[in-house]
């Protein structure tokens, strides 16, 4: 059974362009691969807590030596990592907030990036432990000019960050779909959304 894990991160549940585009992706994917199982993790609801001192201590302590507080603190991370490891395909939908990903998505990242679980470190350096075949990132930006050497390209900490992170964790193939100008006129927005939808359609095939 092939599994697709969808991660949503916009604080908006209504009128969210990134979630709408992920819905579109899911629909097209389902049409092409009706037997694939799709599960969704919304990192805004319930909110993923920031890792704190006890969580980090739990990460760094062997499981059989963890205190009850450490066990409780590490449990969510274990669940999120297990969801991720079961996924063959990853779909992440994200807005740009203040030039980067939303803190809700960063909280998820901090829970799933763990030595010995999703990446390894040895004398040869770092290696990713995820076996996820492909990741698709669907992002929405209020302004334009974050891509193709545009005037804000140096301020795009969404795509380069997720690209670097996912490849660090071992994902081989990563595709990005960006809807820029989502604070432009409704007509301009529609044109961009149609373009991104056709890119998604073409990528899924
Ligand atoms: C808190 C916040 C910060 C934002 N920061 C930026 C930004 O730095 N650059 C930008 O182009 N748009 C920014 N926007 C606009 C969003 O990226 C845009 O509205 C996008 O469509 C939001 O994604 P969503 O439609 O999936 O909710 C921001 C919006 C919010 C709510």
DSSP state of 199: H
DSSP state of 100: B
Query: Which residue has the least CA distance to atom 3 on ligand 1?
Result: 97
Please tell me the predicted confidence (pLDDT) of residue 15.
Answer: 97
Helices and strands per DSSP (H, E), number in the chain: 6, 7
Query: Which residue has the least CA distance to atom 16 on ligand 1?
Result: 142
For the chain, give the mean pLDDT: 97
Rg of the chain, C-alpha, whole Å: 18
Q: Find the residues whose C-beta lies inside 6 A of ligand 1.
A: 10, 12, 16-19, 95-99, 140-143, 182-183
Please tell me the predicted confidence (pLDDT) of residue 2.
Answer: 97
97 CA → ligand 1 middle, Å: 5
Please state whether the predicted TM-score (pTM) of the whole model is above 0.75: yes
66 CA → ligand 1 middle, Å: 40
**Local structure of 204: helix, strand or coil:** helix
96 CA → ligand 1 middle, Å: 5
Task: Tell me the C-alpha distance between 164 and 161, whole Å.
Answer: 5
Residue 133 C-alpha from the chain's centroid = 14
Which CATH number does the domain housing residue 102 bear? 3.40.50.360
User: What's the token pair of residue 12?
Assistant: 């908006």
Task: Tell me the C-alpha distance between 56 and 70, whole Å.
Answer: 9
Task: Tell me the C-alpha distance between 89 and 204, whole Å.
Answer: 12
Query: Per-residue b/e over 147-175, b at no fewer than 16 CB within 10 Å?
Result: eeeeeeeeebebbebbeebbeebebeebe
Give me the domain span that covers residue 179: 3-204
Structural domain tally of the chain? 1
Average pLDDT, 10 consecutive residues per value, the chain (205 residues):
97 98 98 98 97 97 97 97 98 98 98 97 95 97 95 98 98 97 98 98 97
């Amino acid at each position: 059974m092939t599994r697709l894990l969808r991660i949503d991160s916009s604080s908006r549940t209504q009128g969210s362009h990134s979630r709408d585009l992920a819905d579109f992706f899911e629909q097209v994917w389902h049409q092409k691969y009706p037997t694939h199982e799709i599960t969704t993790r919304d990192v805004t609801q319930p909110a993923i807590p920031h890792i704190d001192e006890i969580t980090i201590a739990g990460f760094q302590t062997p499981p059989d030596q963890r205190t009850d507080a450490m066990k409780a603190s590490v449990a969510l991370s274990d669940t999120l990592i297990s969801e991720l490891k079961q996924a063959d395909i990853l779909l992440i939908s994200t807005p740009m907030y203040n030039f980067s990903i939303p803190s809700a998505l960063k909280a998820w990242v901090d829970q799933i990036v763990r030595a010995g679980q999703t990446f390894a470190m040895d004398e040869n350096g770092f290696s990713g432990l995820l076996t996820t075949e492909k990741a698709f990132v669907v992002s929405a930006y209020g302004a334009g000019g974050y891509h193709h050497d545009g005037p804000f390209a140096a301020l795009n900490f969404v795509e380069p960050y997720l690209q670097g992170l996912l490849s660090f964790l071992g994902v081989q193939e990563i595709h990005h779909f960006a809807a820029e100008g989502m604070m432009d006129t409704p007509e301009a927005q529609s044109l961009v959304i149609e373009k991104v939808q056709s890119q998604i359609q073409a990528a899924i095939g």
